[in-house]
Amino acid sequence: MITDVREDRLIVTSDTHIGSFFSNARPGLVRLLDYARAEGYNVCINGDGIDVLHSSLTKMTVEASALLPELRRIAERITIYYTIGNHDIILEHYMGDWGGIRLTPFLNVRSGARRIRVEHGHLYDPFLMKHPDLQPALTRFIGWCCRAYPPWYELEERIKHVRYRDIPRLFGRRNVTQSGIERPDENPAFFEAAEEIAQRAFDAVVFGHTHHPGVMPLGGNGAVYVNTGAWSRHPHYAVINDGEIELKPWNG
C-alpha cells in the first residue's frame, strides 16, 4: 500500500458514482482523464468513483465493462490513484495495484514545497463512525428511496441546510469550527477532521464524500480545506501545480 507520493501535477476528483442508478458521469470522467493525460497530469479519483451500493449487477456490469478498458488505456500513460470511499469500500480487497490503478486508503502528496492530504472523508462521517454496520443497508435503502421518489436527495440536502444553517441562525449562533473559522452549511465533523489532519503539517486537506464542492481556510497556519463535490450535481476537480491547489468546475 503506497500512501506517500511526490506529484507536482495532479488532478483530483471524486464521487462520480459510476454504476449508480443516478450517475451518468462515465463519459465525462473519461474526458477528464483524457484531458489530464494530454496536459501531463496524474489523476486521483478520491473515493466513490464507482458505486456498488446504489447499483445492480446488470448496471455495474455495463458500466464497468465500458470504464475499465478506458482506465487501463489511460493508465498506460499517466498514473491513476484511487482512494477508497464508502460506496466502493469493497475495493479494499484489491488494495495495491489493480490493473494499473493504484488503490490506497488515502494519499499524502508532496507537491512543490507543500504537503497535501487527499482522502475521501467518510471515516469522519458521524453516522458512519457510530454505526458502521448499518451503513451499507442504510445507503441501499436511501438509494431505493431516491429511485422511488427522485426529489428525495434534494429533500435530504434541504434538511441539512435547515439543521446546520437555519436553526443556528434562528438562535443567533454562528457556525464556527474550533479554531473560529465560519463553516458552510454542513456537518462540522468534516472541517474538524480536516483541521485535525492539517495539524500534522499538511497545507491542504482534500475530501469528497459530502457532495458539497468548496474551498475554505482551516485556521492558523494557512492550510485550506478543499472538497471536490459530486458529479451528480456540479462536477468539479482540484488541480495541483507545484503545491498550489485550485478548485475548478468541469464542463467537459
Backbone angles phi, psi at 102, to 5 degrees: -95, 110
Joined together, the cell numbers standing for residue 85 give 470511499
Q: Work out whether 50 is an interface residue with another protein (CB under 8 A).
A: no
Q: Work out whether 107 is an interface residue with another protein (CB under 8 A).
A: no
CA distance linking residue 214 with residue 251, whole number of Å: 17
Stretch that binds another protein, among 35-43, 48-56, 187-195, 234-242 (CB under 8 A): 187-195
Q: Work out whether 180 is an interface residue with another protein (CB under 8 A).
A: yes
Element (H, E) at 138: helix 135-148
The smaller minimum CB distance to another protein, of residues 85 and 219, is found at 219
- The one-letter code for the residue type at 96 is G
The smaller minimum CB distance to another protein, of residues 100 and 243, is found at 243
CB 195 within 8 A of CB 220: no
Q: Are strands 214-217 and 4-6 parallel, antiparallel or unpaired?
A: unpaired
CA distance linking residue 240 with residue 11, whole number of Å: 6
Smallest gap from Cβ 95 to another protein, in A, equals 12
Per CB under 8 A, the list member of 156, 166, 201, 246 interacting with another protein is 201
The smaller minimum CB distance to another protein, of residues 157 and 192, is found at 192
Q: Work out whether 95 is an interface residue with another protein (CB under 8 A).
A: no
Q: Work out whether 25 is an interface residue with another protein (CB under 8 A).
A: no
Residues in region 108-147 near another protein by CB under 8 A: 108, 115, 119, 123
Question: Is 63 exposed, middle or buried, given 0-12, 13-18 or 19+ CB atoms closer than 10 A?
Answer: buried
Smallest gap from Cβ 112 to another protein, in A, equals 13
Joined together, the cell numbers standing for residue 196 give 485535525
Binding site for another protein (CB under 8 A): 1, 3, 105-106, 108, 115, 119, 123, 178-180, 192-193, 195-202, 218-221, 223
